[in-house]
Structure 1
Amino acid sequence: MKIALIIENSQAAKSEIVHNALTAVAEPLGHEVFHYGMYSAEDKASLTYVMNGILTGILLNSGAADFVVTGCGTGTGSMLAANAMPGVFCGLIIDPTDAFLFGQINDGNAIAMPYAKGFGWAAELNLQDVYRKLFDGERGLGYPKERAEIMRKNRGILKEMKAATCKDIISALKALDQDLLKAAIAGEKFQDYFFANATDEAVRDYIRGVLAA
């Protein structure tokens, strides 16, 4: 699985802590991690939590990522911004129990975490435990197990509802402020990672046009 990591500006100083915790868990399980920034508080390309949401939508809908790990001070802003994009099902995850239940019940494709609120002593251990609950083993099995079928059915209904109420990704990208969109994809490694992994040609072409404008 291709996992994308996105950190916003207020928490960029913790980027290395989050990235190290994620790779320590995900890579031994056979997953690839692509860090789309921010890498430090001094990065030239600054990401807001709103941009995190835009990037999440682009990466998931293009096939550049199968799962996105993002967050902000409380995690709530990034979660809301991500869920505003088509095809994104992002949960607010604070602890390993949240991660387990989100994976088994909701089986979404993104999480947002708080990197300021409650981020204290041994925070990196909590991060690792969260990622382990998310990425080790099969998701979507249901909890409790006897409710697995109704949970699977509800996930399908939610996907249909989102498809009915959201624009397709190209329409959504075109409707955005193009300066905001361009700022969201201005990261140091975005082009290298995105064009090497994205499989949707329409999204690739549109992003290429935005970058060239």
Structure 2
Amino acid sequence: MKVALMMENSQAAKNPIILNELETVAGPLDHQVFNVGMNSENDHHLTYIHLGIMAGILINAKAIDFVIAGCGTGQGAMMALNVHQGVFCGYCIDPSDAFLFNQVNNGNALALAFAKGFGWGAELNARYIFEKALTGERGEGYPVERREPQVKNANILSEVKASVMKGNFLESLKGIDQELVKTAVSGERFQACLFEHGQDQDIIAHVKSLIA
């Protein structure tokens, strides 16, 4: 599985900590990690709004399978990611959230709080979240006796979102302020992930047109 980590300006200084915990979990599972957001406070400036655009592009281009995002509270990142077609982002503050999101909702992104509650042992909490988010079969439902309706409802939600968001992702991307999109796609690590692993050439071509 290809996993993208993206962090915005307010919590960029914590990127090495979070990246280390994510790679510690992902490595033994043979998951690839792409650190596509800010890696320090000196990196090019991103807000949680940019993270939503980035997640939408990477997921819809099939460059990555799962996104780990966040901001100070995690709420802004969750909202920004869920704006975009094909992105199903859950809010996660502890390992049980990650496990239940994995099994019940079967989404493809998590938003973490990297400031609120980020105290003693926070790096361990992040590691355990990643363990629950990245291991086991997804979307099996929980508890066992509720498996069938849980799986059914997750599929219905996907259909509802597709119906509400008419048209394809590229059309919606072009409808956003293109300067905002250009900032979102300006990072070299983001571009490398998209251009090397993306499968939707139309999305890739549009991104390249913005940065040309």
Question: Is TM > 0.5 for Structure 1 vs Structure 2?
Answer: yes
Query: Per the shorter chain, which TM-score range?
Result: over 0.9
Alpha-carbon distance, 1:188 to partner: 2.9
Q: Give the distance between the partners of 1:39 and 1:81, measured in 2 at CA.
A: 20
Deviates further, 54-63 or 165-174: 165-174
Q: Give the distance between the partners of 1:191 and 1:81, measured in 2 at CA.
A: 20
Question: Residue 147 of structure 1 aligns with which residue?
Answer: 146
CA offsets per residue over residues 86-121 of structure 1, 9 Å max, x none? Answer: 000000000001011100100100000000000001
Contact kept? 2:37, 2:51, Cα under 8 Å: no
Question: Residue 54 of structure 2 aligns with which residue?
Answer: 55
Contact kept? 1:56, 1:82, Cα under 8 Å: yes
SS at match of 1:112: strand
Q: Give the distance between the partners of 2:94 and 2:145, measured in 1 at CA.
A: 24
Contact kept? 1:91, 1:108, Cα under 8 Å: yes
**Unmatched 5+ stretches in structure 2:** none
Q: Give the distance between the partners of 2:190 and 2:142, measured in 1 at CA.
A: 37
The ranges of structure 1 where at least 4 consecutive aligned residues each deviate by more than 2 angstroms after the TM superposition are: none
**1:40 equivalenced with 2:40 (yes/no):** yes
Q: Give the distance between the partners of 2:127 and 2:190, measured in 1 at CA.
A: 25
User: Aligned ranges for residues 6-17 of structure 1 at < 5 Å?
Assistant: 6-17=6-17
CA offsets per residue over residues 11-39 of structure 1, 9 Å max, x none? Answer: 00000001000000011111000000201
Contact kept? 1:71, 1:113, Cα under 8 Å: yes
Question: Residue 79 of structure 2 aligns with which residue?
Answer: 80
Question: Residue 185 of structure 2 aligns with which residue?
Answer: 185
- Between the two proteins, the alignment pairs up a number of residues equal to 211
Contact kept? 1:9, 1:38, Cα under 8 Å: yes
CA offsets per residue over residues 49-96 of structure 1, 9 Å max, x none? Answer: 000111010010001110000000000000000000000000000000
Q: Give the distance between the partners of 2:199 and 2:180, measured in 1 at CA.
A: 23
Question: Residue 2 of structure 1 aligns with which residue?
Answer: 2
Contact kept? 1:23, 1:33, Cα under 8 Å: yes
Alpha-carbon distance, 1:155 to partner: 1.0
**1:18 equivalenced with 2:18 (yes/no):** yes
Contact kept? 1:64, 1:199, Cα under 8 Å: yes
Could you tell me the percent identity over the aligned residues? 52
SS at match of 1:189: helix
Alpha-carbon distance, 1:42 to partner: 1.0
Q: Give the distance between the partners of 1:152 and 1:202, measured in 2 at CA.
A: 32
Q: Give the distance between the partners of 1:189 and 1:136, measured in 2 at CA.
A: 25
The Cα RMSD (Å) is 0.8
TM-score (norm 1): 0.97
Q: Give the distance between the partners of 1:135 and 1:190, measured in 2 at CA.
A: 21
Contact kept? 1:11, 1:72, Cα under 8 Å: yes
**1:97 equivalenced with 2:109 (yes/no):** no
